[in-house]
Amino acid sequence: MNLIHRLYHRPSLVCLLFAASAFTSHARDVFWQGGNSSAGFHAYDNWVDGIAPGNDSTKETGDIAVFGSKAFESKATLAGSRSIAGLRFEAMINDDKWMISRGSGADHTLRLGSNGIQIPQGDTKVIIDCNIGLQGNQRWILAGENSVLNVEGDVGGPSRLFILGRGSVGFSAALKIGGLAVSGATVETKNVVDAPAMEIVLGDSATLKISGEGLTAGTLAVKSSARILLDPSVKTVRFAGSSGKPWEEGELVIEGFQPGKMNIYFGDTAEALTPEQLGRIRLENSGAGSSLFLSAQGELQTR
């Protein structure tokens, strides 16, 4: 049973965490302190005891970079590319936000292993201004309701990403990964996302907020209740045909849909969703009719 399939069959966030337990790591924690004038991520003297993360994304032998109470400054600069097993952001210093910014050079990719990203405390703000390459299926956990992670570079790789918790994650650039599963958290795509192979799974009151001109993704599965919020800038949202994907109890609320100004597609046929799936969709604050169907081209329409 693959990991996305596991996510379809777990009744709670707690179970989802167990489903992702295959990602549990034995990697070493290394602690950011800063202080070097360059704030370089690569510089040994910016890390406690001069131990910088090794250039290794393997969960057994790579390092987890920890940004927390041992830090003197909140910003690290990535010059070139780097591979690490994972990232953990703890309480901020001086109420500032944590930031990993891009430096000089053509490639600014942080290759992130299957330990992923952890933000265990609320009110923690993080900006990652470099590209991220997923090196294995991984979970990003934002435990606190007010924890925020904004990724301003491209995120890519064939792996699947699980976003869990009560915080929010924003993607400002390209998002091309093998799959995106969201449980409880809010995920916002702030630019046009063109990822027709990216499966999306929403559950446990997850919210997918779509900004920019729209989104093209793979299939959509819904586990318990979930919500899609459409920014007024959106023109087209397109999912692949999803009639073979599980939609469990609860409803999918689509908020902000403007008939005549926006188009939502599922595949390219009238059978791309089952009648039962269509019955689980509710349009909120749209002024549209309540009876939904798919046109012969797969467009979601109302009667």
Give me the residues paired with residue 65 across strands: 30, 87
Q: How far is CA 98 from CA 3, 36, 39, 151, 237, in A?
A: 30, 16, 13, 12, 32
DSSP tally for the chain: helices H, then strands E? 3, 26
**How far is Cα of residue 118 from the mean position of the Cα atoms in its chain?**
12
pTM over 0.85: yes
Count of residues making up the chain: 303
**What are the phi and psi torsion angles at 21 (to 5°)?**
-65, -15
The DSSP element (H or E) to which 5 belongs, if any, is helix 3-8
Report the distance separating Cα 31 and Cα 69, nearest Å: 9
| Order of strands across the sheet that contains 148-151 | 75-78, 98-102, 125-128, 148-151, 168-171, 186-189, 206-210, 226-230, 252-255, 281-284
Q: By the 8 A CB rule, do 241 and 219 touch? A: yes
pLDDT tens track of the chain, all 303 residues?
443 444 444 444 434 443 444 444 468 999 999 988 788 999 999 999 999 999 999 877 899 999 998 888 899 999 889 999 999 999 877 777 999 999 876 678 999 999 999 999 878 999 999 999 999 999 999 998 899 999 999 999 999 999 999 999 999 999 999 999 999 999 999 988 899 999 999 999 999 999 999 999 999 999 989 999 999 999 999 999 999 999 988 899 999 999 889 999 999 999 999 999 999 999 987 655 568 999 999 999 988
Query: If we measure between CA atoms, which residue out of 47, 77, 66 comes closest to residue 120?
Result: 66
CA 100/CA 83 separation, integer angstroms: 14
Which structure tokens are listed for 280? 């689980």
Instruction: Look up residue 120 and give its amino acid.
Output: P
